[in-house]
Amino acid sequence: MEERNDQMQVRWEKLQRWREGSRAYPNTFRRDAEAGDLQRRCADMDAAALEQEPISARLGGRLMTRRVMGKASFADLQDGSGRLQLFLSRDELGEGAYAQFKELDLGDVIGVEGTLFRTKAGELSLRVHFLQLLAKALRPLPEKWHGLSDAETRFRQRYVDLIVTEQTRRTFQIRSATVAALRQGLAAARFTEVETPMMQPIPGGATAKPFVTHHHALDMTLYLRIAPELYLKRLVVGGVERVFEINRNFRNEGISTRHNPEFTMLEWYEAYADYHIAMDRTEQLIRAAAQAALGQTKIVYQGQEIDLEGAFARLSVAEAVRAYNPDLRAKNLRDPEVLAAKLQELGMPVQAGWGWGKRLIEIFEKTVETQLLQPTFIIEYPTEVSPLARANDADPEVTDRFELFIAGRELANGFSELNDPEDQAERFQAQVLAKEAGDDEAMFYDHDYIRALEYGMPPTAGVGMGIDRLVMLLADQPSIREVILFPHLRPEQA
């Protein structure tokens, strides 16, 4: 049991007096206004205007700062929409209520009623004539000026962070607006939103290490999903021709500024479309999200201006690798020996089983990815590293696939879907061999998915978009933990 410090002790004693004096923690106060709304509504009203047409308001919120000047005081009340200054005077409030105000602590949740006016300095304020304590803050808030800077405390006690850090509130507003805009954009294009299993007997749709759990009644192993892909494509087989899901994926891998074990993905599938159409839609959705969340499509990420307005660049993996590795010749980009030499030079020796495709992608990830600051679609991914994508008609060693990079990070991955069940079965078989060779990220063979494809899946394009990374971009946040309300942390020491 954590012991109370001196400040908590004082507050706790006040709580005991509150309990004795009246019904503590009442739920009878009702508000009829919010601070931010009043600020906007009165933005153009000067002192005289407010005097002529008095506006009264009942507000609930948290006492954030206080300036007591003997028989009159100012205070700042913060609610979910913003802040408003309160003015309280002994003469208007009465001796008892004013004394009660002075006994409040910073952080207390209160209800107030009063009339709006402007101070000499011109600040919109509420002249309070009624005041009620609604919930006691037994713990002191962080410092009013510097706020909370310890990252661990900010994530562990996100509620405190949200109280005192304006930027955190803003980030999660952007997140909400972003997701809403994506949902709305897809709904407007007549996509159907669905929910598919989070617990899967065969984790598919991506190459990643899954979390494993166990169902006791059925005595079976289940995996938390690493992607919804194979279920969504089953729905396309079933005739849900435009389908999407926004939900969590789980990957049992490292934690970093870009990775959280659970993260949010948008995936959508569109029948009778190809990856070019998917790229167009990706571009439109991101633009619409920026517009909705920020009101603009030219944004700044970590000091770098990024233009989401113009058409996104499109170039092939091979072109991109050559652009950043001028020593490589175009004709050599499928030569395993040349690629092996390059990898050696980069300090990444070739591993067993890597064909030219895997070798090229390793070079791409090492030398190109982080350079792609402006929105860029990279296309023509090697078939070897794209087990679910449709092979290109003219050049079956690459696929009709793209990944979108912005600010040096992958934001989306999409392709014309592989809907040939025999081809898909062969790709699964290759993954099984890779798994047997020791690649624990390789895919499982999913017989039911093959069976679904055997009923015939229309030609389809699909896209997966990382919502957390998109929000990082739009909210100008360097770490994924800044855009996840409760990021994964080690358990707190007892």
Partner RNA sequence: GGGGGUGUAGCUCAGUCGGUAGAGCAGCGGCCUUUUAAGCCGUGGGUCGAGGGUUCAAAUCCCUCCGCUCCCA
Q: Which residues bind RNA (CB under 7 A)?
A: 5-7, 10, 65-72, 74, 85, 87, 89-91, 105-106, 117, 119-123, 125, 139-140, 142-153, 155, 254, 256-257, 348, 366, 478-479, 481, 489-490, 493
Closest distance to RNA from the beta carbon of 139 (Å): 7
Q: Nearer Cβ to RNA, position 469 or 481?
A: 481
Q: How far is the CB of 254 from RNA (least distance, A)?
A: 5
Give whichever of 184 and 367 is closer to RNA, judged by the CB atom: 367
Q: Least Å distance between CB 159 and RNA?
A: 14
CA geometry: angle 366, 371, 372, nearest 5 deg? 115
**Nearest to RNA of 275, 354 (CB atom):** 354
| Alpha carbons 458 and 452: distance in angstroms, whole number | 12
**Nearest distance in Å: CB 348, RNA:** 7
Question: Which of residues 89 and 332 has its CB atom nearest to RNA in the complex?
Answer: 89
Q: How is 430-489 classified by DSSP, letter by letter?
A: HHHHHHHTT-TTSPPP-HHHHHHHHT-PPSEEEEEEEHHHHHHHHHT-SSGGGTSSS---
As measured in angstroms, the least distance from the Cβ of 314 to RNA is: 26
What's the Cα-to-Cα distance from 290 to each of 179, 473, 479, rounded to whole Å? Answer: 11, 9, 19
Q: Which residue's CB is nearer to RNA, number 79 or number 229?
A: 79
What 394-397 contacts at long range (C-beta under 8 Å, 24+ apart), as own/partner pairs, is: 397/334, 397/357
Gap between the Cα atoms of 231 and 465, Å rounded: 16
CA atoms of 100 and 103, how far apart (whole Å)? 5
For RNA, the closer CB: 139 or 248: 139
Quote the least distance from Cβ 70 to RNA, whole Å. Answer: 2
Kind of pairing, strands 460-466 and 409-416? antiparallel
Please report, as a single letter, which amino acid is at residue 229. Answer: E
CB 256 within 8 A of CB 473: no
In the complex with RNA, the residue whose CB is nearer, 10 or 180, is 10
- Compute the least distance from the CB of residue 453 to RNA, in Å: 37
CA distance 111 to 78: 11
